[in-house]
Chain A
Amino acid sequence: MHHYLHDISMVFAGEAGQGLQTVTETLLRILHKSGYCVFSCTEYMSRIRGGCNTTEIRITDKKRGAYLERIDMLFALSPLAVEHLKSRIRSGTLLFAEKTQFAERWDEHYIDTPFRKFAVETGSPVYSNTVAAGIVSGIIGLPIERFTDYLGEQFAAKGEDTVSKNRIAAKLGYDFGRRTAADKAILLPSPAASGSSGRLLMDGNTALGIGAIASGCNFISSYPMSPGTGLLTFLAAKSKTFGIVVDQAEDEIAAINAGIGASYGGARAVVSTSGGGFDLMQEGVSLAGMLETPIVIHIGQRPGPATGLPTRTEQGDLNLALHAGHGDFARAILAPGTLEELIESMQHAFRLANRFQIPVFVLTDQFLLDAITTIERKYIKRLPFESSIIKTKAGYQRFAFTDDGLSPRGVPGYGDGLVRVDSDEHDESGLITESFEMRQSMVEKRLKRKKALSDAALMPTIIGSLSEASTVVIAWGSNRGVLEEALALIGNKKLAGLHFAQPYPLNPEIKPLLEKRKLVVMENNATGQFADLLSLHTGRTISHRIVKATGQPFSVEEVAEAIKALIE
């Protein structure tokens, strides 16, 4: 008998173009509507057809933000899938596949599952996805009505025939699933009593976009590059409703310069890219530093250098964001780790950019952006709107000296003043200067804001209890979910975690949190970029680094093992 009362991990694997996305999306929607907590992440190859892509869906009784190495049920839509996942298949794994597809590779332990057969019976192989979703719903015991209702909504526009054919396909699959579940004695959790009310389902890209809209972002100029493209697409889709100006730039250089131009004109501008594209944007970061013009830069990280692994994940661009641009000026870097944090970070980024008139980075990665999770509506925070724009008077000086180094920000066309900015070193009015004294004062002015910026830096989230902990495991960005779950799995009071949603600058108040404890940093890159930064800024030694740069995110088991090995 298989019990999956608190936590099922299902993996769907097949070729690109086989419709995995449709199957998992359908299931996620229905599971969500039925009140389950779900977590889903995808890994895919850089190709449009063929290869092997997988999607993992976890059904849990708690909110989770990571994937498991363990696979409870594998739905293999192609023989390649089994090969691809063999290290994660264990004796308890139920493997669903269609015998006719596997030919000599068939193994008698597999469960012959008519994904395609039923579709053809219904009338066309196009119904395979519906059959597959039906089979899975049957196995895990979702109410069939939920499914047929969903199909009604989904295909309403395509007409009655499409709806009814899909319902037939769904029913065939569903009944098969129920029979199989009974035969194999699969026991599943009952959905949360609360149902899905008050809970939303979305992916990281959506959360990031919601954050941008919440903060009044009204300009995006970007050049497509995975996984940075999602934000561009999202804001484009919402542009009419929310008055967002969207420009697909000719390259990343144009994108950031247009963003800075728009910001100079008073827009709340964002640009989105990945590491390779950001390489080209660096001159714009310098420019924003010199012009003291706000700009929010989203970097959806993927493995580098150069074009790297285009569809995989990594946290390898922290150093890039930290050091982009030449000369000395202030900046901030945010790295959200959950849907809530994605929504909040984007708003926070706009506030910091506006308040301190600097470039602000939001670092995400493929894993976080593509992952789909449930989120409690009540935890979605909207930060109050702040604008630094003033109406200018005649004689206005864009770079006027002030105590905190921040000059009131005017924009052209609003007030009687002239707004003059220059990438050359300039005086208070924006005119070019080569005076050494003026240069010195301007450098100081640009750096003065660093103190307030550090003081305003977000404090890390404490996971577990620091008071009893002798070892603290530290993560940033997308690793929040995996760290939380790994620590819970180990369940050792001597361990606690810290998650940094703002890796730079660091709040001076963090020092006491790190004192008298062994520090371990885990991150999805080869060298431990954050570990270096933390060590440099706090003077503390990092005793161990858990790093991974294969292009995959960490699994819960993997992190738990690595941490256990350190404390034993």
Chain B
Amino acid sequence: MREEVLKRILLIIGAILMAIICLFPFIWMIVVSFAEDPTFLGSPLVEYKSTLENYVRVLSDPTLHFPAYLKNSIIIASLVTLTTVSISSLAAYAVSRIEFKGRLLIPIFVLGLSMFPQISLVGYLFKFIEKLGWVNTYQALYFPYVAWTLPLSLWILLSYFSQLPKDLDEAAMIDGASRIKTLTTIILPLSAPALFSTALLVFIAAFNEFMFALLFTTDHRARTVPVGIALFQGVHGEIPWGSVMAASVISTIPLVIMALLFQKYIVSGLTAGALKGE
């Protein structure tokens, strides 16, 4: 029994440590975002006073363009999510249900693609996008993001569709439904949880992307939140930490709330996407 008690104590200490490790940078972000002076820790003369000033500045200062970045990020990530989930639903349905030559190669091929480092695309992609005149447009990010998020999305949906019994399709088709109708009226509604977790993961991935956004945008017309936050700089070159942290909180809180509310979907999506290949 002594072992049980010891284990219990270790477990509780471990759980507390784990909570602290996971939370403290996030909490720090919030603390500094409300600080009147972010240097409050450096000097004994500056004490912590809370203010909404940083939030007001980041949302209203026209030189920071933060509202534009936020709008760009939300629009691009939403369009990418919609497209990626549609394209990969079609493909996952075809691969899991329809007999055609080479269908089993598709998942392997797509999985192989996710091994390419992002940097190995940008040499050519940058020239390509420049030639099309797409720099500073939504499509400069939209198309690469769709391509980049497809493998994960296809993988999750494929693992889910393959679990659904094939009798469902056959019954629908005997009733005269076409393949497309079967997909939209039977398979997709039944796959709501998988579609939902895929959509969340794609949205978060698109919202997070940095390298393409850094290279393919040079001003606020299509620049996204990560690039905006990475390049925030004050007039004299110093970093306006209060604004940076306020912007970070504004862009992170919705994602964190989503992650907490839809925890189950995210976890099942991540594990299905990652562990299918074993």
Same complex for A and B? Answer no
| Chain B residues with a Cβ under 8 A of chain A | none
